[in-house]
Structure 1
Amino acid sequence: MVDAAAPFAKPELEFLIEASKRVNFVVFALTKTDAYPGWRTILEDDRAQLQAHAPRFGSAPWFPVSARLAELAMTMPREAAPELIRESRIAELQHALIDLAGKGHLLAQTNVLRAVRSEFIRLDLQVGDRMKATDPDPGDMAKAKADRAALAARKRTESRQWSLALNTETQRARVEATGRLRNYVTALQEDFLNKIEKGKGEEIKGLPQEVDRALHALSVRLSHDLEFRFRKVAERTLAQVFGPHELQFVLRRLNATLRHALATKPRRDGGGPDNVMIAMSAGGMAFMAGRGAVAGASALGASALIGGSLLIPVAGVGLGLAAGAFILYRRRVQTDRQQARVWLREVLGEARAALSDEIMHRFTDLQYALTLALDDAIERRLQQLDAHIAEIDKALAEDKASRAKRKAVLQAERDGLRARVKQVDEVLVRARSLAPARPTEEQT
């Protein structure tokens, strides 16, 4: 969902660049076209930015829509509604999404294939290092020993600095997430206050249902925002500890440690006992936006320089009105605008407090999990360097024929990996045909 008010902002573009590394294709909806007559210019600017920075999404279909016109059409006489519905362009987007939903299993499989491709590339890099060890250069031995000594020294002298850096990154991201939440809730409150001011009796009576839907949408948006920020905290922290060439060796075990540390944290009751207006759930351990089906293989971000991906399992936040909010509305409000305003402020205030508390706990859990994962990753990287040094020693002790034989075996393994990558690429190219067609020029 992209706003027609302005082209992509930097955070949005960064998110799409990262997503393009793990998602085969997307569908874009350009919203609020009724409010911005120049939306076609914004659309072309957005497409140009995608082509330049995330070319995989450069040919993705765009659907300009107006939810306001679609809602207005529902209140118009039957003979006038079709024209507004056509202008809203909602039908084209609905048909495209229904078509995609029918191919949901295939879409999930393509994203799994893209993650598998990243794993093949990581394995290819490891086999390449093992091939170098079969034909050892004294300089490689010296470099491996120097890398091991440097990492061990950094672990002794900089572990406190890494801990402080992780704490700083976590706190900064938590403040940013809380600020975004405040902006979301403020915008929501202003929108509903305007509806209360301008709405008629029946519209005011239906306010709880609208607020309930809006809170659910807010929770989905916040879940995506937390996913993005969690990944950024982890990537920035890793970048301070490991170089790009080292990340490929620690990512897989780091992912397993993160999953274990986060999954074994005791679950808290979402919302707390004092929330009579809000029902909140932070369901079981799964990936954001219901992607649990591909949780084992889906990639939630990584450096562009590595073949693997950083996986952070995060429970999605569910939010909506509790029964008490509906009961209180019926008793106190009905069509009273003043009471409706009071009720709205109470509901949104409680929602904001509950979500702020949840954000604080989420970042605390993330900091704990990353601390454990980093310690484990450093230890295992030291063990890998020890094994690499031992392999070079073994190769130096072997005769030339034995080294050539071992190198041939590794070359065959590498050729097999590259053949699989080529096969996956061919399947992914064919899978692009699953994307819905662009709207015609007449439709836009």
Structure 2
Amino acid sequence: MTGAVDEFVTTLAPEVRAPGVRRRDVVLVTGPWLAGSTSVARLLADRRPDVEFVEADELGPGEVPVAVVFVASAAAPLTRSDCAVLDLAAAHTDVVICALTKVDAHRNWSEVLAADRETLAAHAPRYARVPWVAVAAAPDLGAPRCEDLLTELDAALSDDTVSRRNRLRAWEFRLQSTADQYDIAADGAGREARVEALRTERAEALRGVRVGRSERAVALRSQIQQARVQLSYFARNRCTSVRTELQEDAGAVNRRGLPEYLAYVERRIGTVVNEVDTGITEHLTDLAAELGLPADPGATPMASQPGVGPPPLKSRRLETRLTVLVGAGFGLGIALTLSRLFADLAPGLTALGAVVCLLLGAAVAVWMVNTRSLLHDRAVLDRWIGERTAGLRAALDQTVATRVLAAEMSMTSALSQQAEADQVRVAEQVRTIDAELRAHEAAGAQARAARDAAAPTLGAALAAVRAELGDPDPGSEHNGRSVTEDAEAGTEAVAGHGSESD
């Protein structure tokens, strides 16, 4: 009988392999969680010891039963997940008997039974002719009730066409699964998701290059402007501080310490130049590191120190003459005043007093001349220091501008090279993505072509098998839902079924 069915279907769809299932001479008792399938299985095993009754977890991989007893509870109507449990259990078996349990505890069980019958018939046309019986496997009062179930089961198992119908049902599942596989491959849900992900990745890669180039250019301009302002302020601040320091030192210098002071001024100015040069180098190096660009702080040399000559301390002849004249007059006045004082106090020492007074007047005149000369030199030094630091400030401003401009040009060039490298990298990435997109497009076209080529054969074979099975409406099997889809929807419910009791 099985061989005849296989030959019949293979003639219609030679490219479809025969169902790889092994038929066990057992009756599967299954149902939703807490429906009471374990109690029903035990009761049937006690009443029919000649028939082997098993539950879902007792079937090995690839094993299918001869008949299926689907147990539903009278506590509530069936749901879609409950129907999926039956789809999975009866995928390869045509003989199905539905048993409504716990009718002893629920007075409205007849209404639940009618609702379950309608639910199953609407779920799949093949279940419209499935018999329904009421069962009380483990009642609280009275004897168990399963005679109607045994009668239906005996009638189903004694039918001579059971083996053929079960084989046809297995073939129907195989044909429907094959058709579903063609549809899945043609629709390409996973492929479409991958294609969408690739398109998004491609757009993001191109956008990342554009945005990254713009962001880096804006960041470079902003950082360069900040560096120019900060370095200019730093240079001017150092010039101001060294000018104040040198002017304070100039107020305490004497004529003998003047050469040493001039050398000290040159050293301090050289120190400021080196400090500013080092500050520019460090700042530009840190800026390049922050932007991720190679730094070349020594590309532009430091400007030389400003060429301001020594202070004009010697060219003051007229002022010196005037100072000598004023000092001499002041000293002569002091000498005359003191001489009169000595003449009044000691008339005998008039000559000696005159000499002493002349010496004191001369000393005062010399002191006055030297003091005025020293104050003049300090004033000249103060002006000279102002000119020296002003020239230093101008030179440092020029150096800052030149160094920052050179750094900007260098970093802009490096930024352009980096953008070009990113463009090359993204171009390679886009080429890889485009190649994969073309491969997915070709695969989708091949899958659709294969489905279109196999659809007539599979449709004819399915129609013939369902006609042999006598399904009420072969064109609307499962209301447009495949057997595979229903079976997968019930996998979780069957996995959690276990061996529950009533």
What TM-score do you get using the length of structure 2 for normalisation? 0.30
* Bigger-Rg structure (1/2): 2
TM-score, reference length from structure 1: 0.34
